Amino acid sequence: MFAYLSSFFSGFYYSYRGATKIDWSRTYIICANHSSSLDITALSLFARGNFAFLGKEELLNNPVTALFFKSIDIPVNRNDRMASFKAFKRVAAYLEKGISVIIFPEGGIDGSYPPQLSPFKAGTFRLAIQQQVPILALSIADIWKLMWDDASLYGSRPGLSHIFVHSVIETAGLTAADEADLSARVWNTINNGLNKDNEA
C-alpha cells in the first residue's frame, strides 16, 4: 500500500515487460540492478506473495524503511563479515519457509553517473545453489533518470520507468563448482536487458 500511494502521489510509474507470467507459488531469489532509491518501490509493486528485501544497514536510519527492516526485511552490513554471514543465514531461513527474497547483488549503488552495472557479490549465488532456489532477474533500465540515489545532486522528476523481467534461471542440480558461472549468467542477463533498453 505504501508503494502504491507513494508512487501515485509523486508521479512515479513502472512498466514491466518480458516474462511477466511468473509462477508466484514458487520461491525465488529476485535479483536486479540497483541505481535508484525507487528500485525498492518498483520491486515491491512487482513481487507477489510473501517476500522480503536484503538491504543495507543504513536503511534502519530512515524512519520509513526502518519500519520494514526492523520487522520483515533483513538489514546487512557488508563491511562486517560476521554480520553479513548472519544476514545470509536469515535469508536462508526465509527461503526455507517459502518466502522469496529480493537482493541487489551489486551490494549497493555505484557512484558513477550515469550508472554502470557493477560486479556481483558472490553470496547471493552461493545461497541460491545451496538452497536450490531459482533466480528471477530484472533489468531496471531508466529509473535513475527519474531519481538518482542522491536526489540532492541530480534532482528528481515524475515519469515512467521501464523494467524488463527475464525468464526464470533454474538452479536445480547446480553445485558449488557452478557458482561463478551462475553469477556470470545472471550478470549478463541483467546487463543485456539494460543494453536492449538503451538501444530502443
**CA–CA dist 165, 171 (Å, integer):** 18
pTM: 0.88
Query: Tens of pLDDT along the chain (200 residues)?
Result: 777 787 777 889 999 999 768 999 999 999 999 988 889 899 999 999 999 999 776 655 666 665 666 667 887 877 778 878 888 899 999 999 999 999 999 988 877 778 899 999 989 999 999 999 999 999 999 998 888 766 555 567 889 999 999 999 999 999 999 999 999 999 999 999 998 755 44
Q: Under the phi-then-psi rule, with left for phi > 0, alpha for psi from -120 to 50, and beta for the rest, what region is 154? A: alpha
Alpha helices of 119-178 — where are they, by DSSP H?
Answer: 123-131, 151-154
C-alpha triplet 95, 99, 104: angle, nearest 5°: 75
Q: 121: Cβ–Cβ under 8 A, 6 or more apart, which residues? A: 78, 105, 106, 107
